[in-house]
Structure 1
Amino acid sequence: MPAIEQVRLGRKRTLPPCPNPLFLRWLTELRDQAVERGQKTQYVYQKAINSLKKYPLPLRNAREAKILQNFGDGICKILDEKLQRHYRENGPDAPIHSLPSGVTVAPSCHSNNNLAQPTKEPSRKEREGGRRKREYVPQKRSGGYAVLLTLYRESQVPGGKGFMFKLELQAEAQHLCDKSFSVPDLGSKYTAWSSVSTLIQKDLVVKTHNPARYSLTELGLALAERLEDGEREREEDRRSEVGEEEEGSGRGVVDLTAVEEEKEKRTEPTARPTPAAYVAQRGSEVPGVSASGKPQAVETKTRPAGGCLYPGSYDIVLCVDFIETTGGSTACKQELVKELQRNGVTFDVRKLNVGDFLWVAKERVAPVSGQLRAPQGRELVLDYIIERKRMDDLCGSIIDGRFREQKVFRLKRCGLQKPIYLVEECGSAAAHLSLPETTLQQAIVNTQVVDGFFVKRVQDVKESVAYLTVMTRYLTKLYQNRTLVCRSRELEGDRRDEEEWGGRERENPSCSLISFPEFNQGAVKNKCQTVREVFARQLMQISGLSGDKAVAILENYSTLHSLLKAYEQCPSDTEREKLLSSIRYGKLKRNLGPALSRTVYQLYCTKGALS
């Protein structure tokens, strides 16, 4: 009896091979190059590959492929150029519907990269033992090399943060890299920073938080340690070679060229070959570490290491929000710039996420030989920030709610301790505003008395520029002999810690300031908010509930869930209505009162529309 044949499962009809393998190969190469560079064109090439695989007829040129879906003029032009190059290299009669011998296209798989690059026929050793996956090691003095070494050296600093921000990382890693981290080379749009995406894909660097923090993974730490060991060995070999040359040349001979090179090296940012040298260089900045790298006794309250700006190494620069110079009344805004230039004020127009004017201490950086632009110096934000309001703008911001939001949620929480409101009178135009003048005057008084802002009232743009000029000269004189210490706002804590430090800074002529990138990124208007922040914004929309009252409620019930849970535990509606009435707020410690407590209860516990 004949044996029963085994039933074959799966697809019975085999798919025919693609009749245009050469075009398929080129599209696959383009797709893979876009994937390596992180370009979004990889998805366009992938769609074209899928369309080409479904087309059953051979194509004589790329122009015929325009009838296919996802084939535009750009892709067809690229394929035509590759086809002409193919004819020039292999002759006008070279076949285009078959691949050269020894080159194949790997079968597709169900992923974003479902077509692999053309591969050659594997060797006998590879067929027997399989191909080993090559470890990724960045090239010496490349962007990835510099980033790994910088993060590793930062991790070895005692008391360090364990992470670095983007601009901080770029500034520290620049001297270890031949390419610029901010300016691309001629004819290219990529910088040394582009290699960070590769480090993240290879699981060597991890990116967290907003603003972004970069730190090493376990794999990255091991690789960076090996790179550091190689750097240390090369440094020792270089020193030994220099010592041998000095012994051979004799002590009486002086090389003037070497002396000049040594002077140039002193003016440029010096490389830090080892973590020990890195700690020694930053010894004065790191709590508990002396200049020799040895631990020393420190106070109980230490500031996080972030770098120092010493007297004479920085300039005080006024930063102007670009909104103050563009759009709207162009004549008035151009007048502001001209007046600043006429008064000789050093200013910089940039995007400020909060406030209209502020001052930074900008580090003086010498240009580096071989680079088009000088490296970007560190910038520390002084504790003064100005919000400029015309009377008509003040009226509009009160009506749409921006006035309270700017004061309570943005200016008060931006991390700077001396916010200033610069109010410009409109003269006769104030009589034609939507709100009565008494309401506007009361809002200005409340800003100064209740919210604690300093209010400066001026008549026009010229007086505003005069005030900015006087403030710039005052701050330049105030900070001219001060050592500025860079601190991290997130690691310092709340404003209570800042007030304690402020009292000590009056005794010691040094200041602890936030870096401008951290300040500006932390003040983004539409950044992700915590549940506590959203709850506070909801409370602030209730009429009569000021910022101090909202803070007092949040101290007892940090989230809406905790407040609703407290309402559920009350035995009666009367007690629920009076739940918040005894909460004290402000400096005078007054009670919220039963009326406001009842309003909050009705808002969150009334089903249906409020009466």
Structure 2
Amino acid sequence: MPAPEPVRLGRKRPVPSCPNPLFLQWLTELRDDAKEKGLKIYYTYQKAINSLNKYPLPLKNAKEAKILQNFGDGICKLLDDRLQKYYRQHGPNASIHILPETAPPAVRFDSNNLAPAKKKNASSNGESGRGGGGGKKKREYVPQRRSGGYAVLLALYQHCQVEGSKGYMFKLELQTEAQPLCDKSFTVPDLGSKYTAWSSVSTLIQKNLLIKTHNPARYSLTDEGMALAERLDSAERGEEQTGAHVQKRAEKERKEERREGEKEKGWCGDAEQADEEVLDLTQSDEDEAERVLIPAEKACVLPEPRVQDVQTKSPAQCLFPGSYEILLCVDFIETTGGGNHHCKQELVKELQRNGVNFDVRKLNVGDFLWVAREKMEPVPGQLRAPCGRELVLDYIIERKRIDDLCGSIIDGRFREQKFRLKRCGLRRPVYLVEECGAAASHLSLPESTLQQAIINTQVVDGFFVKRVQDVRESAAYLTVMTRYLSKLYKNRTLVMRSRELEGDLSEDQDIVGNPSCSLISFAEFNEGAVKNKCQTVREVFARQLMQISGLSGDKAAAIIQEYPTPHSLLSAYDKCSNELEQEKLLSSIRYGKLKRNLGPALSRTVYQLYCTKGPLT
């Protein structure tokens, strides 16, 4: 009987390296670069790397890689371009299956992980694969200098260092503060790309360096983000001090050369002294002067009531006279679609014919409003000029045709729209009511009901109502308003305020000819006016109450002032001694400007709605 073969002992067969190390190295570089910039194509490169790792045969060029999964025309073209450059550097006969000596060795990447796959050692009997201490330490994410993530971290950190800081920033103010720290625009993508510097915020959130909360969104640093931002800020300050020192030394040398030349020509005295004073100005002094001082031609036209506000704000939060233009914003629904498409196109043509500067965009509340938009100079090399800051003026218009008014009253949109207009943050809402001629005789509601609704909108709800005959008169009214507001805000300094801050506006500014110059940004306004955003219990309770016939927004506001939640109202009902007292609980609540009582009938209706067990009869 033959003896059994001896068992061979030794190392396991090593995992073969990728037969296409150059392609693997180039794809890895493209993937890491896309990850640093926060681009989603990063995932496509990772899938291509996984496919290339599984392919066992060498490739002659990138076109042959098209047979592999996740290799499209774009990736193949990038690899071919790099391959031609490689041949020009190393010669046409250079091998592409062996890395040059200066390049790092190619490694296989695990398809389930973004880190290189770990090699197992047979001498450890497989224990290194099970243990957690054998792998390399994960590299810390640090954004590239002057990138979007870098600028956002620094801007938030510097904001937190200011005394009295609220600890968070809204999107628009964060973009404004971070833009000087970034080489890429936060609002306008580069030519050929759809991503801006703001796209890197998602990476910061994913890396647990940034937190996004509330609506409108608030951005704040985590503990890890604060530590990283502090290190970045220290490094930035060190470079600035070095640069300032070098600049000051160069200026001193130039000053000495100039002084020698002046001595030869016989110049001396006041000119030398003035030159010395200018050259002794350090970089930090220049920054301080640029932040505080206002040019003389702008300072002379500052409106007197706003000087105190301007002194407490940085120039990044102010729009000075001449630096902005008044722009009419038109909701895109008012220009396209719907049954009145011809009339909507007629409105656009009339505005263009009247020479009105307008922009069509999505408005979450209202149909027309005006913004003060900062004038921006085009940047060389970019297709579009960068987007300037936009502050919303206190005027917003809701346009209603009579037939649309009838439909909105029937389905309940009319009351909801008035409620949202009152809460949008703008103090001068306007209803533009447009007649529709003979079509008014075929409406579902009688004309008296529609006229009463219009009167209630003006008298009870406090809206200004403008009635016009057709779309041409509507365009004429918008034209006149645009020119009036351009003249009204011509020599005024506008200050950006947050919608969440109280006490920015005073009652003495709510008069014609002296408008409020403390305005909210368009981005914050539009985000805060989203129709289906998350609502508080108080807001849902108010909407519930407004579904009761005869219970307007003022009445609902008066009720929730006393009883903010259904629970507080039901608790008050439980404390009543008898049913009659429960029915009259809300009757003495006063509402509106005239402070009238809510009344026993409406009080009884609310009681029956919330306290009746079983179906209502």
Provide the TM-score with structure 1 as the length reference: 0.74
Q: Aligned ranges for residues 239-254 of structure 1 at < 5 Å? A: 239-248=248-257, 250=259
Q: Which residue in 2 is equivalent to 1:376?
A: 387
Deviation at 1:339, TM superposition (A): 1.1
Task: Tell me the distance in 2 between the aligned counterparts of 1:241 and 1:166.
Answer: 40
1:225 aligns with 2:233: yes
- Per the alignment, do residues 353 and 83 of structure 1 end up closer, same or farther by CA in structure 2, a change over 3 Å counting? closer
Amino acid corresponding to residue 373 of structure 1 in structure 2:
R
Task: Tell me the distance in 1 between the aligned counterparts of 2:37 and 2:196.
Answer: 12
Q: Which residue in 1 is equivalent to 2:115?
A: 116
Of stretches 133-142 and 20-29 in structure 1, the one that deviates more from structure 2 is: 20-29
- 1:577-601 CA-to-partner distances (Å, cap 9, x unmatched) read 2222222222222222222222212
Of stretches 413-422 and 589-598 in structure 1, the one that deviates more from structure 2 is: 589-598
Task: Tell me the distance in 2 between the aligned counterparts of 1:377 and 1:50.
Answer: 43
Q: Which residue in 2 is equivalent to 1:259?
A: none
- 1:140-184 CA-to-partner distances (Å, cap 9, x unmatched) read 332233333333443444555543333333344333332232333
Q: Is the 1:389–1:421 contact (alpha carbons within 8 Å) kept by the matching residues of 2? A: yes
Task: Tell me the distance in 1 between the aligned counterparts of 2:518 and 2:309.
Answer: 17
- 1:379-416 CA-to-partner distances (Å, cap 9, x unmatched) read 111111111110111111111111101112x1111111
Aligned-partner SS, 1:367: coil
Aligned-partner SS, 1:383: strand
Q: Which residue in 2 is equivalent to 1:519?
A: 525
Task: Tell me the distance in 1 between the aligned counterparts of 2:482 and 2:582.
Answer: 53
Task: Tell me the distance in 2 between the aligned counterparts of 1:75 and 1:313.
Answer: 50
Task: Tell me the distance in 1 between the aligned counterparts of 2:479 and 2:72.
Answer: 59
1:317 aligns with 2:332: no
Q: Which residue in 2 is equivalent to 1:263?
A: none
Deviation at 1:222, TM superposition (A): 1.1
Deviation at 1:559, TM superposition (A): 1.0
Q: Which residue in 2 is equivalent to 1:264?
A: none
Task: Tell me the distance in 1 between the aligned counterparts of 2:513 and 2:596.
Answer: 35
Task: Tell me the distance in 2 between the aligned counterparts of 1:79 and 1:140.
Answer: 27
Amino acid corresponding to residue 181 of structure 2 in structure 1:
L
Q: Aligned ranges for residues 381-420 of structure 1 at < 5 Å? A: 381-408=392-419, 410-420=420-430
Aligned-partner SS, 1:348: strand
Q: Is the 1:388–1:423 contact (alpha carbons within 8 Å) kept by the matching residues of 2? A: yes
Aligned with residue 491 of structure 1, among 491, 494, 501: 501
Task: Tell me the distance in 1 between the aligned counterparts of 2:16 and 2:73.
Answer: 20
1:209 aligns with 2:220: no
- Per the alignment, do residues 158 and 42 of structure 1 end up closer, same or farther by CA in structure 2, a change over 3 Å counting? closer
- Per the alignment, do residues 331 and 207 of structure 1 end up closer, same or farther by CA in structure 2, a change over 3 Å counting? same
Aligned-partner SS, 1:609: coil
- Per the alignment, do residues 299 and 549 of structure 1 end up closer, same or farther by CA in structure 2, a change over 3 Å counting? same
Listed as ranges, the gaps of 5+ residues in structure 1 are 1-15, 96-100, 254-271, 286-297
Of stretches 44-53 and 537-546 in structure 1, the one that deviates more from structure 2 is: 44-53
Aligned with residue 500 of structure 1, among 471, 483, 507: 507
- Per the alignment, do residues 566 and 320 of structure 1 end up closer, same or farther by CA in structure 2, a change over 3 Å counting? same
- Per the alignment, do residues 148 and 233 of structure 1 end up closer, same or farther by CA in structure 2, a change over 3 Å counting? farther
Q: Is the 2:317–2:495 contact (alpha carbons within 8 Å) kept by the matching residues of 1? A: yes
Task: Tell me the distance in 1 between the aligned counterparts of 2:137 and 2:16.
Answer: 33
Q: Is the 2:19–2:58 contact (alpha carbons within 8 Å) kept by the matching residues of 1? A: no
- Per the alignment, do residues 20 and 512 of structure 1 end up closer, same or farther by CA in structure 2, a change over 3 Å counting? same
Q: Figure out how many residues of one structure are paired with residues of the other and give that number.
A: 542
Q: Aligned ranges for residues 204-603 of structure 1 at < 5 Å? A: 204-216=209-221, 217-226=225-234, 227-248=236-257, 250=259, 281-283=290-292, 307-328=317-338, 329-408=340-419, 410-492=420-502, 498-500=505-507, 502=509, 511-603=517-609
- Per the alignment, do residues 500 and 79 of structure 1 end up closer, same or farther by CA in structure 2, a change over 3 Å counting? closer
Aligned-partner SS, 1:316: strand
Task: Tell me the distance in 2 between the aligned counterparts of 1:47 and 1:135.
Answer: 23
Deviation at 1:323, TM superposition (A): 1.1
- 1:168-207 CA-to-partner distances (Å, cap 9, x unmatched) read 3334433333223233334444332233333334444333
- 1:501-522 CA-to-partner distances (Å, cap 9, x unmatched) read 625x889787211111111111
Q: Which residue in 2 is equivalent to 1:177?
A: 182
Task: Tell me the distance in 2 between the aligned counterparts of 1:359 and 1:585.
Answer: 32
Task: Tell me the distance in 2 between the aligned counterparts of 1:510 and 1:416.
Answer: 10
Task: Tell me the distance in 1 between the aligned counterparts of 2:200 and 2:133.
Answer: 35
Task: Tell me the distance in 1 between the aligned counterparts of 2:211 and 2:428.
Answer: 36
Amino acid corresponding to residue 200 of structure 1 in structure 2:
I
- Per the alignment, do residues 307 and 279 of structure 1 end up closer, same or farther by CA in structure 2, a change over 3 Å counting? farther
Deviation at 1:138, TM superposition (A): 3.2
Aligned-partner SS, 1:492: coil
Deviation at 1:307, TM superposition (A): 1.5
Amino acid corresponding to residue 552 of structure 2 in structure 1:
S
Listed as ranges, the gaps of 5+ residues in structure 2 are 1-12, 88-92, 99-103, 122-131, 263-281, 295-306
Task: Tell me the distance in 1 between the aligned counterparts of 2:133 and 2:43.
Answer: 36
Amino acid corresponding to residue 215 of structure 1 in structure 2:
S
Aligned-partner SS, 1:207: strand
Q: Is the 1:203–1:219 contact (alpha carbons within 8 Å) kept by the matching residues of 2? A: no
Deviation at 1:114, TM superposition (A): 3.9
- Per the alignment, do residues 339 and 251 of structure 1 end up closer, same or farther by CA in structure 2, a change over 3 Å counting? farther
- 1:294-330 CA-to-partner distances (Å, cap 9, x unmatched) read xxxx989997767222222221111111111111233
Aligned-partner SS, 1:498: coil
Task: Tell me the distance in 2 between the aligned counterparts of 1:66 and 1:369.
Answer: 38
Deviation at 1:548, TM superposition (A): 1.1
Q: Is the 2:310–2:495 contact (alpha carbons within 8 Å) kept by the matching residues of 1? A: no
- 1:96-132 CA-to-partner distances (Å, cap 9, x unmatched) read xxxxx97665778xxxx5463357999xxxx999856
Of stretches 144-153 and 422-431 in structure 1, the one that deviates more from structure 2 is: 144-153
Deviation at 1:50, TM superposition (A): 11
Identity %: 66
Aligned-partner SS, 1:247: helix
Task: Tell me the distance in 1 between the aligned counterparts of 2:175 and 2:79.
Answer: 42
Deviation at 1:367, TM superposition (A): 2.8
Q: Is the 1:105–1:116 contact (alpha carbons within 8 Å) kept by the matching residues of 2? A: no
- Per the alignment, do residues 197 and 240 of structure 1 end up closer, same or farther by CA in structure 2, a change over 3 Å counting? farther
Of stretches 324-333 and 466-475 in structure 1, the one that deviates more from structure 2 is: 324-333
Aligned-partner SS, 1:183: coil
Of stretches 506-515 and 597-606 in structure 1, the one that deviates more from structure 2 is: 506-515
Q: Is the 2:24–2:106 contact (alpha carbons within 8 Å) kept by the matching residues of 1? A: no
- Per the alignment, do residues 171 and 20 of structure 1 end up closer, same or farther by CA in structure 2, a change over 3 Å counting? same
Task: Tell me the distance in 2 between the aligned counterparts of 1:76 and 1:371.
Answer: 29
